[in-house]
């Protein structure tokens, strides 16, 4: 059946099937929003101008980083990460920020807090609970004042927390030793020939769990080590932390990095990183081979409880008990006290890719794009688990997910109850074997942490800082060309409120999309006019803009 030509539609002569084939108004608005880079899932927020008292409901972008949720917001977030990576990779000056000195008001508040802390300790020794409660409230008020004055860091708690159980830091006998050099207070790499300061692109992978085909599916699923694959995926971020510690201790300077965690087709995570400066390939390979992470958790090889035969919550004792004997299960702390060896050891594989990159080259830009290539996709999508996946690949992913379902993801995971151990913070709302952590969800493949890992001194800016820099650039361009934006500095300040679905003044989503589209087109017209004015082009001449974009 042919779809009628939209220019000659006559609803009276159309059949029901033809009318059903026509696009809905909401679909047209969404398609137009995607074309102009507008969020397709805007949130309705109430904006109140505190100067004039004007109240209006405006669309606010959802801020999703997933392309299947909102392509416009995901692409915007990906480009922001590209800017963050590009700005810090090939710096030639130290990105250090001087810390402000404490003021007299800071010192007075800390001195008053010290006196109250000493009084609290004395009152607690004598059992004066009423005075202790009053002192606690006073210290809480002081802490709020300190935070309001910009004091960062951890404040001394009133009650000293119990010291955690420490494990031996002696290296394993099966791991090679690494040299340890004093760390210099620098983040820049070495300069070669007086003018070249190259940087590094690094790729780290995990070891093999069995042979796989071209699509990442196990050739022999019965002998593929899914248990080790699941545990390595869950503890991969901790292994990366250990790698950067070893790297800095070995090379002797504060190595900075921008890295992304992505899945391979077999479902195992691997790590791409941009390093500022250069490190010899042989040294990086030696550090990788000597890096490991020991998981000091109770043994969790074979579940004790299955199906409906699971521990039950005792409301009187406020603990989980055995369903047959009624005996309370051991707590997490009790189970960890008896450990003599780690439950699992994570190591990198033998494949280590190291490449030197010069700043300002086409190759550097290409690698920045490669680092952020899959950030807008979920782990499953990045691993190739889409509509084109083979049956063997889907079965491979199901087996890995089944193993992740019985692998604890943290000390607070409810899966520990299947192994006869109460997790940290056990409560009645826990369902044995059912954890809501992302590591157990099929689309995450056991990788529950952050996808992007950035060192503190990479650019000395957060994502909000980079976002503010981009807005400030546009604002300065508009001011320099004398163009007044639709919402100038004289507007506001604003106070924002969340809206409820039942509020009568909330417009439907198509209306929000149309408002967002109108606002985007207005912004684009103002920015284009500013660019034309800055380039000296007459109004309506877009050749200068096209040349600049090229």
Q: Where are the domains of the chain?
A: 20-65+462-539, 102-186, 199-454
Kind and range of the H or E run holding 285: helix 281-290
Nearest to 248 by CA among 284, 281, 273, 272: 284
Nearest to 209 by CA among 192, 193, 225: 225
Check residue 511 and give its pLDDT. 87
Comparing 170 with 456, the larger pLDDT belongs to: 456
Write down the mean pLDDT value for the chain. 88
Structure tokens at 225: 């080590």
Taking the model in full, what pTM does it have? Answer: 0.85
Model confidence at 537, pLDDT cuts 50, 70, 90, reads low
Contact 463, 84 (CB under 8 A): yes
Cis peptide before 493 (omega within 30 of 0): yes
Model confidence at 327, pLDDT cuts 50, 70, 90, reads very high
Indicate the range of 46-55, 243-252, 438-447, 541-550 predicted with least confidence: 541-550
Model confidence at 547, pLDDT cuts 50, 70, 90, reads very low
Tally DSSP H helices, then E strands, for the chain.
15, 11
Average pLDDT over residues 114-118: 91
CA 441 to each of CA 172, 182, 197, 354: distance values in angstroms, whole numbers, following the listed order: 33, 43, 43, 32
Average pLDDT over residues 132-143: 90
Contact 349, 206 (CB under 8 A): yes
Q: Which residue has the tokens 């008053």?
A: 112
């Amino acid at each position: 059946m042919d779809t009628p030509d939209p220019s000659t539609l006559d609803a009276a002569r159309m059949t029901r099937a033809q009318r059903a084939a026509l696009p809905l108004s909401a679909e047209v608005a969404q398609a137009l929003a995607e074309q102009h880079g507008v969020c397709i899932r805007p949130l309705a927020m109430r904006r109140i101008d505190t100067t004039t008292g004007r109240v209006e409901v405006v669309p606010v972008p959802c801020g999703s980083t997933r392309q299947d949720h909102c392509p416009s917001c995901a692409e915007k977030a990906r480009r922001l990460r590209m800017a963050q990576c590009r700005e810090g990779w090939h710096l030639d000056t130290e990105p250090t920020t001087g810390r402000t000195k404490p003021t007299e008001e800071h010192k007075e508040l800390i001195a008053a807090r010290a006196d109250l802390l000493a009084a609290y300790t004395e009152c607690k020794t004598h059992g004066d609970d009423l005075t202790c409660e009053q002192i606690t409230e006073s210290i809480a008020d002081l802490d709020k004042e300190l935070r309001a004055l910009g004091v960062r860091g951890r404040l001394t708690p009133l009650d000293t927390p119990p010291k955690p159980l420490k494990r031996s830091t002696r290296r394993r006998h099966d791991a090679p030793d690494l040299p340890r050099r004093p760390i210099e207070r620098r983040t820049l790499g070495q300069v070669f020939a007086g003018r070249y300061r190259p940087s590094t692109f690094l790729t780290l992978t995990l070891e093999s769990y069995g042979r796989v085909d071209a699509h990442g599916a196990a050739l022999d699923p019965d002998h593929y080590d899914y248990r080790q694959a699941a545990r390595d995926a869950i503890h991969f971020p901790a292994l990366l932390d250990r790698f950067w510690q070893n790297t800095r201790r070995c090379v002797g300077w504060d190595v900075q990095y921008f890295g992304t965690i992505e899945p391979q087709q077999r479902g195992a995570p691997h790590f791409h990183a941009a390093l500022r400066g250069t490190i010899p390939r042989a040294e990086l390979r030696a550090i990788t081979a000597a890096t490991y992470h020991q998981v000091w958790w109770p043994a969790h090889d074979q579940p004790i409880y299955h199906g409906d035969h699971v521990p039950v919550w005792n409301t009187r004792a406020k603990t989980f008990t055995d369903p047959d004997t009624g005996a309370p299960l051991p707590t997490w702390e009790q189970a960890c006290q008896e450990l003599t060896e780690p439950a699992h050891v994570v190591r990198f594989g033998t494949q280590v890719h190291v490449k030197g990159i010069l700043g300002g080259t086409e190759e550097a830009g290409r690698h920045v794009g490669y680092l952020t290539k899959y950030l807008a996709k979920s782990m499953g999508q990045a691993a190739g688990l889409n509509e084109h996946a083979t049956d063997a690949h889907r079965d491979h992913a199901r087996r890995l997910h089944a193993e992740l379902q019985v692998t604890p993801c943290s000390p607070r995971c409810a899966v520990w109850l299947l192994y006869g151990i109460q997790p940290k913070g056990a409560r009645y709302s826990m369902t044995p074997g059912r954890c809501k952590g992302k590591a157990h969800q099929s689309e995450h493949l056991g990788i529950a942490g952050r996808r992007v890992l950035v060192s503190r001194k990479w650019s000395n800016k957060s994502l909000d800082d980079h976002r503010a820099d981009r807005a400030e650039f546009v604002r300065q361009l508009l001011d320099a060309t004398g163009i007044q934006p639709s919402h100038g500095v004289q507007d506001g300040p604003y106070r924002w409120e969340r809206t409820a679905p039942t509020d009568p003044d909330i417009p439907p989503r198509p209306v929000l999309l149309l408002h967002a589209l109108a606002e985007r087109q207005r912004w684009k017209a103002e920015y284009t006019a500013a660019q034309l004015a800055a380039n000296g082009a007459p109004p309506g001449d877009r050749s200068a803009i096209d040349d600049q974009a090229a």
